[in-house]
Amino acid sequence: MEDSLLAQEIRNKNQAVFCQLVEKYQQKIVHTCYGIIGNMDDARDIAQDVFVDIWQKIDSFRGDSSLSTWIYRIAINKSLNFKKHIYHQQLIDRIELWMGFKEDENVDEKHAMHTCFEVESSEIADVFRKALNTLPENQRTAFTLCKFEELSYQEISEIMKLSLSSIESLIHRAKENMQKKLKAYVKNQY
């Protein structure tokens, strides 16, 4: 059956024809998604979403390209969006791990910090430095001494001549502020 007839039958909600389309393209779409994502379970899930989109959005198929091109475009876009979402989530997870909002017994803070700056390269490090520079001076100082110099809260308290509870509060507020700024940056990028 030609693309235009397939599309018309699916517009008419002909489930038998839709099943033929799924049978014809399912393995190809799964393999395309897998090639982008690298995880077969996720690729199958995305392929399923692709066919749901085809069923629901067939009216948006104008016929400017072949039906197969349109289907592959949906699959590729969904796969790339999924990959961006995963990257975004991993970046947030690494930042939260490094900042102490998450705990992972398998990864120490130094490794998380190294990974965060190495993997995301100088752009993220630059964004991080800019966010750090927007913190009030006391928060920035306490945060820097804690995260970069790896001093204990007690040592920071002695250096800054503030109570231990003040240091805890400063570092907590600094982490919250940094988390907000970095999440906003990542959200704007992806």
Q: Kindly report, residue by residue over 70-90, the tens digit of the pLDDT.
A: 998 898 889 888 877 776 666
Question: Quick one: pLDDT at residue 116?
Answer: 44
Query: What CATH number does the domain located at 87-189 have?
Result: 1.10.10.10
DSSP letter, residue 60: G
Question: Quick one: pLDDT at residue 17?
Answer: 92
Question: What number of CA atoms fall less than 13 Å from residue 80's CA on the CB side?
Answer: 7
The residue with greater pLDDT, 182 or 15, is: 15
Q: Where in the chain is the domain with CATH 1.10.10.10?
A: 87-189
Per-residue pLDDT of 120-134, as tens digits, reads: 445 666 777 788 878
Q: How far apart are CA 183 and CA 189, in angstroms?
A: 10
Angle formed by the axes of helices 15-37 and 67-99, nearest 10°? 40
Q: Where in the chain is the domain with CATH 1.10.1740.10?
A: 3-83
Q: How far apart are CA 112 and CA 98, in angstroms?
A: 5
Q: How far apart are CA 97 and CA 82, in angstroms?
A: 22
Question: 0.95 exceeded by the pTM?
Answer: no
Q: What are phi and psi of 150, to 5 degrees?
A: 55, 40
Give me the amino acid identity at 154: Q
Question: Quick one: pLDDT at residue 103?
Answer: 59
**Residue 49, token pair as written in the block:** 């979403």
Say if residue 93's pLDDT is above 60.
Answer: yes
The residue behind tokens 């800054």 is 160
Contacts for 10 with CB less than 8 Å, ≥ 6 apart: 17, 18, 21, 54, 55, 58
Per-residue pLDDT of 136-172, as tens digits, reads: 888 877 887 787 767 789 888 887 788 999 999 999 9
Q: How far apart are CA 110 and CA 98, in angstroms?
A: 8
Q: How far apart are CA 17 and CA 4, in angstroms?
A: 12
- In this structure, of 12-21, 86-95, 150-159, the range with the lowest mean pLDDT score is 86-95
Asked if residue 20 lies in contact with residue 76, where contact means CB atoms within 8 angstroms, the answer is: no
Question: Quick one: pLDDT at residue 119?
Answer: 43
% of the chain at pLDDT higher than 90: 23
Contacts for 188 with CB less than 8 Å, ≥ 6 apart: none
Number of residues that make up the chain: 190
Query: What CATH number does the domain located at 3-83 have?
Result: 1.10.1740.10
